[in-house]
Structure 1
Amino acid sequence: MKNMKDTPPLKPVTPDRSYLRKFIEKFKSSQNGKDKKIFIERQALLFLIGLSVLIAFLLHDFKSETSFLGSLILVMLLVVFFYRDLLRYKPAYIKKKKMKALLGILTIFTLVIARVFDHVFSVFSKGLGIEGLGLHTLGIPFALGPALVVLLFDFHTAITFSLVLSFMAGIWVKIPLIPIYVFIGSLIGAFALLRCKKRTDIINAGIYIAIANTVSSISILLIMRDVSFSKIYFSSVFSVINGLTVSAMCFLCLPAIERFFHVTTPLSFIELLDIDHPLMKQLSVEAPGTYHHSMIVGCLAEAAAEVVGVNPLLAKVASYYHDIGKIRMPEYFVENQTGCVSKHEKLNPHLSSMIIISHVKDGVELAEEYNLPEIIKDVIQQHHGTALVTYFYQKALKEMETPPSEQDYRYPGPKPQTKLAALVMLADAVEAASRTLDDPTPARISGLVDKIVKNIFIDGQLDECEITLKDLSEIKKKFEYILTGIFHRRISYPEPLKEKTL
């Protein structure tokens, strides 16, 4: 029997505290004036100038005597405003060239469609004898751009896009109140598609736009004191055509944009929630424990998503697919083990940790094979960050004479880059830990959630995303509420009394 003195001391698990050093260095650099902010980067400036020239060309009426230079200057100011707004509130879109290019293309595309419909409706107006009234401009589907932006990007970007587009419409049409008309229609379209979950929501959005356009067009006629039955009739007809055209164009354009730019809309996420998806079917059959775990993680992430500014639908879908890599070797994960003897009993700790860690790489490969959206792949890759496989690391410390390298027992990363990835990481860890509770009372659940979130934070896994302490507090409250509901107590029903036999 070995003497206690001969036993090597266990090496403690040291948390990654690099976030403190990074914070101090950033503070010092800002204090020394090294952190200089550039209003517009040179590369972005060239892009904005080129975009402004194209937009000004589309807006300018070369038959009139208006100045092209004046239009260009106004357009440049609007484009710079849009760029700065995105840089302040949605910097991720500026960093990704694909998303930045898509916004520019959507702006150009909306104006090209507007030009086409303007020509069609002007010819149509000549036949009706209402050419000089300018009513045909009410039928131009300017709201198409904001409708596509809210589906492909987010609501904030759609609102800013609507504002900029309405001013551009004013530069082009030169009717005093047309920017208000365009902005109202675009705003209603963005609101109607904010929670788009079915294809019929796009049709409903077109109807709402048509109603809003009709009301605002009649209101404009009343303001201008230019009311007659024929004008009200034709303005209403063009307003309704406008709304229905937006719906039709959305149906036509969305699949092409999704395929060409590899962008996923809420409608595509709804399709991924289908349990008949090949990956979901495979997961439920080959790794039922992981499948059930993913469903609970989805509930936790969805409940906490909205309070921290994450799309609940996206959080749920990402949670469903975050552990699909376990399909490759399901029996090596505890939630899928049915026997008393673990597969890891005959393996050394390092090999066991490599098998556990490999499910991230396998998950990314399966996501690429089944063409899952890029954002889902990112969550699969980041949902463990650079966390330590603690169980096998501690096992290695006990079994090996020389302490192993902690780095060999950590996931490769990267750490969560977005709130979404951080949320799935927290939900995954909390759900897994909650299974170890013997007596899951509300107090114990609360203590467990607090401990898990605190450990992840101290380990520095949340350093590279924009999640705040307030967000973490709200997330913990939601997790506690959902887990308390899952582990609620049930009363024990008494056995039925047996009838006495005579």
Structure 2
Amino acid sequence: MNGVVRQRKEGSLKDNQKSGFNKDNIIKLFLLICTVAVLSLSMVCNRGLPPRAIAGTSFIIALLLVILYRDLMRYKPSIYKDYRLILLIGTLLSGNLILSRGFYYILEGFSEWLGNIPSQLLIYAIPLAVGPMLTALLIDIHTAIVVSVITSLLGGLWLGNPSYSIFTFVAGVTGAFGVIRCKRRSAIWRAGLFVGLVGAFTSLTITLLGVRFLSLETPLSAGVAFLNGIIVATLVSASLPLLEHFFRRTTDISLLELLDLDQPLLRNLLVVAPGTYHHSIIVGNLVESAAEAVGVNPLLARVSAYYHDIGKIKMPEYFIENQTAPISKHDTLTPHMSSLILISHVKEGVELAMEHKLPESIIDIIQQHHGTSLITYFYQKAKAEHGDTASSLTDEDFRYPGPKPRTRVSALILMADAVEAASRVLTDPTPSRVSALVNRIVDHFLIDGQLNDCELTLKDLQEVKKHFIYILNSIFHRRISYPGFEIKDEDSDKEPAKAETSKQDKDKKGSPKDPFPLRTIYG
């Protein structure tokens, strides 16, 4: 009997999963209903519409939002799975329409004060292009175009003017494409200027459909449409920082501000841990090149690389790139204690990033940039010290706590970090040796399962390898020897036995056979 009940419960659970009746879909349905309610209220407020008209408006809004929802599910699954982004889209749609309604009421009062300006002119000043522009800045251009379509349809439905839908769509798309490569806040004003110019031309084109093209309303409508662009730029500039803060979004504008080398964290890193600082710069070059190849934001990749090792500020002398003394501090520590010190720089980095209010995306990358990878050197050293009891050791004590990289950017930094570190000990960095090193390290991470939780494909990894190899070969390029500047190693004359290194030792230190040479173990 219990077996039958269990089978029925499992069957009902499977049916619920197939039908989409789960917690995630319930939350998304709730957000959809809330957005429909807010949009409907803003559309019908103070219009005195009968109940059937209100119901019809609500059904149209619901239909448009379902189309948006299905579009995200099909083409933007990363947005579809993120409640915060869905809430942001609903806020932009609702807030844009509510703001425009309020602005329209202000314009109506202003027109009565000036002497009843025709409403046909007022509608061209309504800043409905704010929503698509903010969507392009905070999410992406694809979603911005869909939002622009919905906004234009709702605008025409609200004002009962199909021609206005054309004007709103053109203005919204122009604004969205105007900020698609926005790197500075001044670019928002340039995009607003384009919105004004295109809006003025569109309003003139629309008036061609009317019978009063040669009237005074024609140039006035063009002037009001141009003013619309200035209003849109002002509202976008004012609201963007607030939305970035509340929804924890990071735009290219904010990233460029973090890229400033006068930022306190970067300046402190340069002074306290100069070796780590220059390592981070090279990692930034590597990941930026690879990011363009695999279709992720190269600016986010570079900025994240600059900050990924800020945790080393706390104890810089324990990381080999910052050591100047001939004796390492790790020589007096047990392998397990040394590994704990190395692992701690991830936690310290997250704490520093939160203290300086870095974006959440960068904090996540700092936490994930080592994944659960093994600190090979100290693990092998511990096994050698334990001798016969080495079997009692587990590699879990010498692994970073993770989590593994969950985004393509954090995976790129994981690989670039190890590749740059390992390349430093190549005794003869020829193109073939650099290529072998890069291939071995990337393949090692793949086999170790560090890339299981990100969306990099095997094709992406080939592109990553190619760009890493190109950048490193450019860094290690050969130069001609300048006459008169030959520097002779005096120690080699006095102690040739110590100065010469056997081929076997060179291979041990810098050969691609070892995916993590000595340089890598310190960070």
Tell me the residue number matched to 2:163: 177
Tell me the residue number matched to 2:446: 457
- Classify the secondary structure of the residue corresponding to 1:181: helix
Structure with more relative contact order (C-alpha pairs < 8 Å, separation 6 or more): 1
- Classify the secondary structure of the residue corresponding to 2:162: coil
Superposition pairs of residues 47-446 of structure 1, within 5 angstroms: 47-60=31-44, 62-64=47-49, 67-126=53-112, 131-132=117-118, 134-224=120-210, 226-400=212-386, 401-403=389-391, 404-446=393-435
- d(CA) in 2 for partners of 1:471, 1:232: 54
* Letter of the structure 2 residue corresponding to residue 282 of structure 1: N
Tell me the residue number matched to 1:475: 464
- d(CA) in 2 for partners of 1:391, 1:237: 70
How much has 1:224 moved relative to structure 2?
4.6
- Say if 2:472 is the partner of 1:491: no
Contact 2:28–2:83, Cα closer than 8 Å, also in 1: no
* Letter of the structure 2 residue corresponding to residue 486 of structure 1: I
Q: What does the per-residue CA deviation read over 1:322-370, in whole Å, with 9 as the maximum and x for residues that have no partner?
A: 0001111111111111122211112111111111111101110111111
- d(CA) in 2 for partners of 1:177, 1:451: 61
- Classify the secondary structure of the residue corresponding to 1:345: helix
- 1:391 to 1:186, Cα distance in 2 relative to 1, 3 A: same
- Classify the secondary structure of the residue corresponding to 2:208: helix
- d(CA) in 2 for partners of 1:331, 1:426: 23
Q: What does the per-residue CA deviation read over 1:27-79, in whole Å, with 9 as the maximum and x for residues that have no partner?
A: xxxxx999847398122112211210210121236335671111111110111
Number of matched residues? 466
Q: What does the per-residue CA deviation read over 1:249-278, in whole Å, with 9 as the maximum and x for residues that have no partner?
A: 122112222333333322221111111111
Tell me the residue number matched to 1:12: none
* Letter of the structure 1 residue corresponding to residue 131 of structure 2: G
How much has 1:157 moved relative to structure 2?
2.1
- d(CA) in 1 for partners of 2:106, 2:16: 56
| Higher mean displacement: 468-477 or 371-380 | 468-477
How much has 1:409 moved relative to structure 2?
0.9
- d(CA) in 1 for partners of 2:135, 2:201: 24
* Letter of the structure 2 residue corresponding to residue 378 of structure 1: D
- d(CA) in 1 for partners of 2:15, 2:448: 30
- d(CA) in 1 for partners of 2:117, 2:175: 28
* Letter of the structure 1 residue corresponding to residue 415 of structure 2: L
- d(CA) in 2 for partners of 1:437, 1:189: 50
- d(CA) in 2 for partners of 1:496, 1:402: 51
Choose between structure 1 and 2: higher helix proportion.
2
How much has 1:229 moved relative to structure 2?
4.5
Segments of 5+ residues of structure 2 without an aligned counterpart are: 1-13, 487-523
Q: What does the per-residue CA deviation read over 1:108-133, in whole Å, with 9 as the maximum and x for residues that have no partner?
A: 11111110222233344456667556
- 1:409 to 1:64, Cα distance in 2 relative to 1, 3 A: same
Contact 2:167–2:203, Cα closer than 8 Å, also in 1: yes
Q: What does the per-residue CA deviation read over 1:114-163, in whole Å, with 9 as the maximum and x for residues that have no partner?
A: 10222233344456667556232111111111111222222222222212
Superposition pairs of residues 15-54 of structure 1, within 5 angstroms: 36=18, 38=20, 41-54=25-38
- 1:232 to 1:286, Cα distance in 2 relative to 1, 3 A: same
- d(CA) in 2 for partners of 1:223, 1:452: 65
Contact 2:31–2:87, Cα closer than 8 Å, also in 1: no
Segments of 5+ residues of structure 1 without an aligned counterpart are: 1-31, 498-502
- d(CA) in 2 for partners of 1:288, 1:432: 15
Give the TM-score normalised by structure 2: 0.84
- d(CA) in 1 for partners of 2:15, 2:381: 48
- d(CA) in 1 for partners of 2:442, 2:154: 48
| Higher mean displacement: 301-310 or 34-43 | 34-43
- d(CA) in 2 for partners of 1:258, 1:478: 32
Structure 1 stretches of 4+ moved >6 Å: 32-35
- d(CA) in 1 for partners of 2:105, 2:17: 51
How much has 1:191 moved relative to structure 2?
1.3
* Letter of the structure 2 residue corresponding to residue 489 of structure 1: R
- 1:34 to 1:479, Cα distance in 2 relative to 1, 3 A: farther
How much has 1:94 moved relative to structure 2?
4.0
Give the TM-score normalised by structure 1: 0.87
How much has 1:311 moved relative to structure 2?
1.2
Q: Alignment RMSD, CA only?
A: 2.3
